[in-house]
């Protein structure tokens, strides 16, 4: 049998009505990919047939309709009239007249689907678990199982957790499930065997970078008509790669770079030649890779003596300086030379972002108290700007975690999917591990206890040494460190933000616990919020009292209390070492219902009377020390129990 392939979900520059408010505000289209470029790349990447599925448009597909093995399609936004929920329906191999009728009927998905079947138009529900307007729920999914005969189970922009679940969902259907749903909603299902669904795949590419990453295969269909018949008859297959946060983020960057070049690029290239070189290298779509003069100028600038000092430089100059140092770092560039495009772009962006955020955060923390208000405001604003520049990653990580509750609801509602609770996998964030203090000792004991009891617990920290000295610990190399002016022996390491976020995504943690309120703890809180992961914390140390003792400054003590209450109020629960500490936090404003005291007990095996020795003067100190160690162990056991270990 001979396979024939097509990317059935891909966008061109004619998808020019973006969903996101910010893109509409600045008139940024959802894609800059030209139809002819898309056609050429799809064929180069092994696609036998080519179509374009722009949002509610066929103008892009019509541009290539005259080319060999091309056909006209569109991704239609349809509405469930009872709730206003939006879904995306891809219609394949349609005429202009059919498209006009589809656009009229799309406000009512029931009327639209009825028309598609009456016209014998092949179609499928795209990314079924992706909420377009926050109204997607179990009822919409169940109704969709009755309405649609074909589902996209391999979307090149969506993570495997969604693609894989969609495949499981449609594979678990049988006649009794469809009959039960039809009776529940009084809705007649489509198809002669409505429980046997067709499956397809598509890249859902918007930036021109991932065309044909995912695609549909039908065997022995050498013509467009026979290929479409295969999809209509549910004999197609979904092939290619899943997506994820990096794919989505880099698609957004590709769009942003095209926008930058179109509106501002030529006038700004001279100001940031090394940044422009990086962007051209990874995001340029088409033949324009910069002029010969630009390349000569870049070569000369690259070989001039470089300086790591950023004193007196503007943000653009610092950014370009860091880009130059990165391009000149042969060890780093060699280390990513064999990685795929997603990993390469991510490594470069993460490194630049880490250096810039650390530089400006360090500047903010070292500003003298008598610095002007605008010095503080400008530095803080620049930190915000950097986070804005890497916001495509934040947005992508957030979107790739939307819908986890829906997956749980669907699994519970359909017994055929054999619901089973996912085992807990905990990430514990701490700023202290190598130091000699109670928090570090507790965490080390905790990892050992978790390992012995079969609980998946990974400690996340950062430091100068990037190796994992202890099993169950993931230590990220520090981007840099801060030394507090009033406490020089206390060093706070600055974590690589995007790298840690990527690790949490890759390892699929189900819960985050934060042990310290420093830079690593803050990052844990940020990740929990972005990825919609439950988060809890432990209040180990009365930091405001230490601040008061060290500085004798009422203002700094109040600031420390404000920060601590804000930090711990973001968590679902906060474990405290005593009732008194809990009452103190509640009096300062932490919601009392979130405070959970850690239980304490004594290890009866270690503290048994059988262990007693006859006391004498030579044993007094060692006995006292042993009891102290036993009590410390009891406290650690208490915290182990609180973590679920």
- How far does CA 244 lie from the centroid of its chain? 7
Are the C-beta atoms of residues 195 and 177 closer than 8 Å to each other? yes
Report whether 516 contacts 430 (CB < 8 A): yes
- CA 499, 505, 509: angle at the middle one, nearest 5? 120
Residue 451 pLDDT? 72
Cβ-contact 592, 586 below 8 angstroms:
yes
Q: What is the pLDDT of residue 548?
A: 78
Per-residue pLDDT at 144 exceeds 90: yes
Query: Which residues touch 404 (CB under 8 Å, ≥6 apart)?
Result: 161, 532
Share of the chain above pLDDT 90, in %: 51
Per-residue tokens: 531: 């990825």
Select the more confidently predicted residue: 314 or 464: 314
- Tens digit of each residue's pLDDT (9 = 90 or more) over 467-509: 555 677 888 988 887 766 555 655 678 899 999 999 999 999 9
| C-alpha span between 125 and 73 (Å, rounded) | 14
Q: Beta 49-52 vs 150-155: how paired, if at all?
A: unpaired
What tens digit of pLDDT does each residue of 509-534 get? 999 999 889 899 999 999 999 999 99
Tokens in use for 223?
């013509």
pLDDT tops 80 at residue 446: no
pLDDT value at residue 500 = 96
Q: In what order do the strands lie in the sheet with 473-477?
A: 473-477, 456-463, 425-429, 511-514, 535-538, 573-576, 595-597
Distance between CA atoms of 125 and 112, rounded to whole angstroms?
12
HSE (side-chain half, CA atoms, 13 Å) at 227: 24
If pLDDT is split at 50, 70 and 90, which confidence band does 629 have?
very low
pLDDT attached to residue 625:
36
Model confidence at 122: pLDDT above 90: yes
Q: Hey, what are 196's tokens?
A: 């046997």
Question: What is the model's pLDDT at position 26?
Answer: 54
Q: Residues 6 or more apart from 498 whose CB is under 8 A from it?
A: 346, 349, 350, 353, 354, 390, 393
Indicate if the pLDDT at residue 302 is higher than 60.
no
> Does residue 279 have a pLDDT over 80?
no
444 or 350, higher pLDDT: 350
Residue-wise pLDDT for 366-412, tens only, equals 787 777 778 888 888 999 999 998 999 999 999 888 888 899 899 98
**pLDDT value at residue 162:** 94
Contact 121, 98 (CB under 8 A): yes
What pLDDT, in 10s, does the model give residues 328-348? 888 988 888 888 889 999 999
State mean pLDDT over 223-230: 97
Query: In the prediction, which pLDDT does 630 show?
Result: 42
| The CATH number, out of the four listed (3.30.450.40, 3.30.365.10, 3.40.50.720, 3.20.20.140), of the domain defined by the range 3-244 | 3.20.20.140
Whole-number pLDDT of residue 307: 56
Collapsed DSSP state (helix, strand, coil) of residue 399: helix
Map out the domains of the chain as residue ranges: 3-244, 249-396, 415-642
- The answer to whether residue 420 scores a pLDDT higher than 80 is no
* Under 8 Å between Cβ of 520 and 430: yes
Mean pLDDT of the chain: 84
User: Environment class of residue 205 by beta-carbon count within 10 Å: exposed (0-12), middle (13-18) or buried (19+)?
Assistant: buried
Instruction: Please measure the distance between the N-terminal and C-terminal CA atoms of the chain and give it in whole angstroms.
Output: 54
* Architecture of the CATH domain 415-642: 3-Layer(aba) Sandwich (3.40)
């Amino acid at each position: 049998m001979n396979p024939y392939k097509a990317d059935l979900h891909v966008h061109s520059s004619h998808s020019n009505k973006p969903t996101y408010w910010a893109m509409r505000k600045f008139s940024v289209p959802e894609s800059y990919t030209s139809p002819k470029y898309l056609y050429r790349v799809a064929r180069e990447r092994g696609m036998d047939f080519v179509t374009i599925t722009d949002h509610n448009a066929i103008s892009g597909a019509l541009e290539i309709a005259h080319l060999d093995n091309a056909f006209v399609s569109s991704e239609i936004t349809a509405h469930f009239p009872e709730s206003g929920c939006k879904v995306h329906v891809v219609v394949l191999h349609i005429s202009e007249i059919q498209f006009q009728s589809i656009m009229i009927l799309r406000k009512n998905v029931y009327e639209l689907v009825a028309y598609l079947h009456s016209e014998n138009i092949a179609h499928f529900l795209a990314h079924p678990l992706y909420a377009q307007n926050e109204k997607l729920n179990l009822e919409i999914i169940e109704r969709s199982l009755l309405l649609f005969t074909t589902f996209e189970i391999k979307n090149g922009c969506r993570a495997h957790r969604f693609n894989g679940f969609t495949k499981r969902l449609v594979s678990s259907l049988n006649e009794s499930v469809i009959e039960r749903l039809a009776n529940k909603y009084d809705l007649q299902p489509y198809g002669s065997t409505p429980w046997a669904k067709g499956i397809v795949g598509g890249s859902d590419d918007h930036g021109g970078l991932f065309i044909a990453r995912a695609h549909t295969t039908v065997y022995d269909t050498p013509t467009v008509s026979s290929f479409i018949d295969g999809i209509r008859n549910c004999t197609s297959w979904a092939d290619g790669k899943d997506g994820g946060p990096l794919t989505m983020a880099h698609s957004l960057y590709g769009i942003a770079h095209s926008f930058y070049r179109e509106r501002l690029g030529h006038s700004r290239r001279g100001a940031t030649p090394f940044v422009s070189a990086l962007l051209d290298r990874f995001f340029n779509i088409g033949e324009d890779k910069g002029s010969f003069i630009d390349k000569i100028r870049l070569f000369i600038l690259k070989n001039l003596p470089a300086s790591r000092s950023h004193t007196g430089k503007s943000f653009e100059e610092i950014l370009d300086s860091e880009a130059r140092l990165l391009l000149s770092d042969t060890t780093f560039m060699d280390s990513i030379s064999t990685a795929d495009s997603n990993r390469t772009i991510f490594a470069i962006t993460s490194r630049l972002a880490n250096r810039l955020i650390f530089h400006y955060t360090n500047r903010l923390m070292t500003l003298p108290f008598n610095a002007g208000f605008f010095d503080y405001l400008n530095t803080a604003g620049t930190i915000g700007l950097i986070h804005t520049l890497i916001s495509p990653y934040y947005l992508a990580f957030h979107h790739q975690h939307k819908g986890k509750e829906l997956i749980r609801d669907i699994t519970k509602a359909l017994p055929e999917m054999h619901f089973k609770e996912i085992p807990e996998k905990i990430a514990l964030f701490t700023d202290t591990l190598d130091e000699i203090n109670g928090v570090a000792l507790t965490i080390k004991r905790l990892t050992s206890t978790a390992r012995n009891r079969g609980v998946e617990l990974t400690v996340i920290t950062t430091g100068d040494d990037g190796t994992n000295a202890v099993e169950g610990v993931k230590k990220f190399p520090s981007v840099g460190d801060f030394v507090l002016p009033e406490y020089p022996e206390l060093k706070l390491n600055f974590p690589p933000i995007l790298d840690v976020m990527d690790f949490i995504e890759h390892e699929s943690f189900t819960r985050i616990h934060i042990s310290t309120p420093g830079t690593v703890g803050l990052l844990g809180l940020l990740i929990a919020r972005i990825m919609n992961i439950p988060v809890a914390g432990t209040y180990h140390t009365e930091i405001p009292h230490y601040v008061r003792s060290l500085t004798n400054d009422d203002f700094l003590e109040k600031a420390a209390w404000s920060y601590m209450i804000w930090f711990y109020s973001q968590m679902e629960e906060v474990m405290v070492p005593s009732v008194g500490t809990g009452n103190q936090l509640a009096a300062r404003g932490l919601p009392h219902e979130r405070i959970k005291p850690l239980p304490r007990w004594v290890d009866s095996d270690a503290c048994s009377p059988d262990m007693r020795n006859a006391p004498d003067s030579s044993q007094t100190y060692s006995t006292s020390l042993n009891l102290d160690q036993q009590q410390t162990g009891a406290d650690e056991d208490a915290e182990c129990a609180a973590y679920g270990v």
